[in-house]
Amino acid sequence: MKPYSPDEFSKTLWTAEQIQQRVRELSEQIRADYAEMEGEDAIVAVGLMRGAMPFMADLGRYMDIAMEYDLCWLSSYVNSDRPGEIELVQDVRTELEGRHVLVVEDIVDTGHTLKFTNELFGSRNPASLRTCCLLDKKPRREVEVPVEYVGFTMEEDEFVIGYGLDYAGRYRNLPYIGVLHPRMYQK
Ligand code: PRP
């Protein structure tokens, strides 16, 4: 099997060290905010598959408060006649009523995915519902959605990969975030 080659990427946006530093800061902020909330229960962190996996693992690792993990698998209908429609592939297994739910996502792009989860989980009467996104990619937003915790903001519409973000299933396992070289997707 071939290793990734440096010429597959045009630049690094955030190194592994910068990401870990920012995730640690987010964990501290979340920990402080949730310490103010009513209730003894653990937070229910819901990671959106598949991109949120490394982010959610690291976020929890830096937090010394009780946190349960669950996963929700969503899929968008790309290049179809149903733009913005989201398919629920696999729902969470946790009963969310009365719980403090924190949705964990790698990137908010058009906003349709988070609009969908806000409606889906919001309808289950959680005690609170907040969202934590590593990247907030502003230029392609189609629907406005609240995101309480943001790691990094992107002002450019760049094709980002690494730390959960993929192109055709690849690059998710990189510890840093880079921009994919256009020749990788322009045939
Ligand atoms: C990507 C990403 C977010 C979503 C954001 O998921 O991981 O979940 O798109 O896009 P939006 O704001 O335009 O809705 P994708 O459907 O590619 O699945 P993945 O997590 O498996 O990569």
Token digits of residue 100: 């403090």
Based on the structure, what is the number of domains in the chain? 1
Provide the whole-model pTM. 0.95
The answer to whether residue 33 is catalytic is: no
Alpha carbon distance 61, 23 (integer Å) = 10
Which CATH number do you get for residue 147? 3.40.50.2020
Nearest to 46 by CA among 71, 63, 21, 65: 71
pLDDT per position as a tens digit, 58-113: 999 999 899 999 999 998 876 667 778 999 999 999 999 999 999 999 999 999 99
pLDDT in tens, 117-130: 999 999 999 999 99
50 part of a folded domain? yes
CA 107–ligand 1 middle distance (angstroms): 7
- Is 166 inside any structural domain? no
How many angstroms does the Cα of residue 51 sit away from the middle of ligand 1?
A: 7
Report yes or no on 69 lying in a domain.
yes
- E strands within 116-163? 128-137, 149-154, 160-161
Asked if residue 187 is part of any domain, the answer here is no
In a domain, 167, yes or no: no
Q: Ligand 1 site: residues with CB under 6 angstroms?
A: 48-51, 75-76, 105-113, 166
Is residue 1 a part of any domain in this protein?
A: no
CA 170 to ligand 1 centroid distance, Å: 14
Residue at token pair 């937070």 = 43
Give the pLDDT of residue 79: 63
Give me the domain span that covers residue 27: 14-158
Estimate the crossing angle of helix 16-35 against helix 53-61, to 10 degrees. 60
